[in-house]
Amino acid sequence: MDLRELIKALENSRLSGDAQVEIKDIQSDSRQVTAGSLFVAVRGTAVDGHDYIGNAIEKGAVAIVCEEIPEELASKPVAFVEVGDSATALGKLISRWYGDPSDKLILVGVTGTNGKTTTATLLYELFRKLGHKVGLLSTVCNYIDGEAIPTDHTTPDPLTLHSLLARMVEAGCEYAFMEVSSHAIDQRRISGLSFNGGIFTNLTRDHLDYHKTVDNYLKAKKKFFDDLSDSAFALTNLDDKSGLVMLQNTKAKKFTYSLRSLADFKAKILESHFEGTDLLINDKEVFVHFTGRFNAYNLLAVYGAAVALGKTQDEILIAMSTLYPVAGRFETIHSPLGYTAIVDYAHTPDALTNVLNSINEVLGGKGRVITVVGAGGNRDKGKRPLMAREAFKSSDQLILTSDNPRFEDPEQIIQDMTAGLTPEEMTQVLCV
């Protein structure tokens, strides 16, 4: 594809040099540049791609997209395209390179602190059971109509993201469901995508190592809904205090779901145990293989999104009754000796509280809860004592241990967690 055709995807860009130069590929990492590459210089949180424009030219880049042309490189025999924001431009260029794959899919994004993986994955499973070819982009794994593709980010980088969507189109997928992280929104990793719908699950303290304040975190989530088109739908959790905030400036068709208030999609828990839950969804009863109030919210979001996408209540509930929990999300393991183990990804104080409350509700005071929990390294340190406090309050025995320490000292992470407990409480806590 020549540069002139490619940059039609950009608004308010300024070209210097040969517009008809042939582009062989697009890269944002100068180490991946080869002869004929278009290099997009993106300002990241740790590295500024503008510092590597010279390297990219030396390796054979024939065109550079940047926010500012370095004076010492302005005379180089390459085409320069100046843009206001390179990160936004990257997504749009990659989308055009792959033939705008998101325009050929019904693409729905799920954002929120907790519940993204479960909600997106259950939508993927539900629509496959309804007979559709479907793609999934999630924290656990990416899928193209049943083909598993490993992942290492909640939301992939733009090059990987659009490549996967293009593969979904090639495979004949009609729908794609994806997790949309606050980092991806803030870093414009979803630039160039055309969403048919957005779902908000909830917002609690998380990622403050990156966003610094809860308000910044909220604004990042809200921007996703602000950018939806009037042909899309926006579905929000009315029971979350930030739920209606997400709808304030969206042009999309607005829908709400709730377990406590009047909403477009309403549910009530009739009975819950470790094998599953009896739910009443919009006045129709259904048994699901999920436990806990938080899972009722996830399932209600799935139901609401499916209705917004044109499915009927009966076909949704019949398919929903055959779904099972996502691996590592309130995953239940039964021992022949009568013990029950619950494995859950809970990595925020709120998520931990939700899981433990659900367990205690099912037990009804007739069993003991032993909680084993840790906190990830190089992440928001402020939530560590809060997680220990929540775990202690809802458990009969608390064991603090290492999670993924990354580049931190595991023992220091545990010490940070114990700051949420009194010396007397610590006599009942085991640290390993």
| DSSP notation for 83-119 | -S-HHHHHHHHHHHHTT-GGGGSEEEEEESSSSHHHH
For the CA atoms of 151, 156, 161, 165, the dihedral, rounded to the nearest 10 degrees, stands at 50
Lowest mean pLDDT: which of 186-195, 326-335, 404-413?
326-335
Q: Span 340-345, mean pLDDT?
A: 92
CA atoms of 338 and 223, how far apart (whole Å): 48
pLDDT in tens, 100-127: 999 999 999 999 989 999 999 999 999 9
Q: How many CB atoms lie within 10 A of CB 19?
A: 15
For residue 250, how many C-alpha atoms fall within 13 Å in the half-sphere facing its CB?
29
Q: Where are the alpha helices (DSSP H) in 142-274?
A: 158-170, 182-186, 208-211, 214-226
Question: Is residue 209 over pLDDT 70?
Answer: no
- pLDDT tens-digit readout, 132-143: 999 999 988 999
> 313-320 and 293-308 helices cross at what angle (nearest 10)?
140
Percent of the chain scored above 70 by pLDDT? 98
**Using one digit for the tens of pLDDT, what is the confidence trace for 242-295?**
999 999 999 999 999 999 999 999 999 999 999 999 999 999 999 999 999 999
- Using CA atoms, how far residue 393 sits from 386, 396, 419, in Å, is 11, 8, 14
**Is it the case that residue 211 has pLDDT exceeding 80?**
no
Q: What's the confidence (pLDDT) of residue 271?
A: 95
CA quadruple 221, 227, 228, 234: dihedral, nearest 10? 30
Q: How many residues does the chain have?
A: 432
Mean pLDDT for the chain overall: 94
221 pLDDT above the threshold of 70 = yes
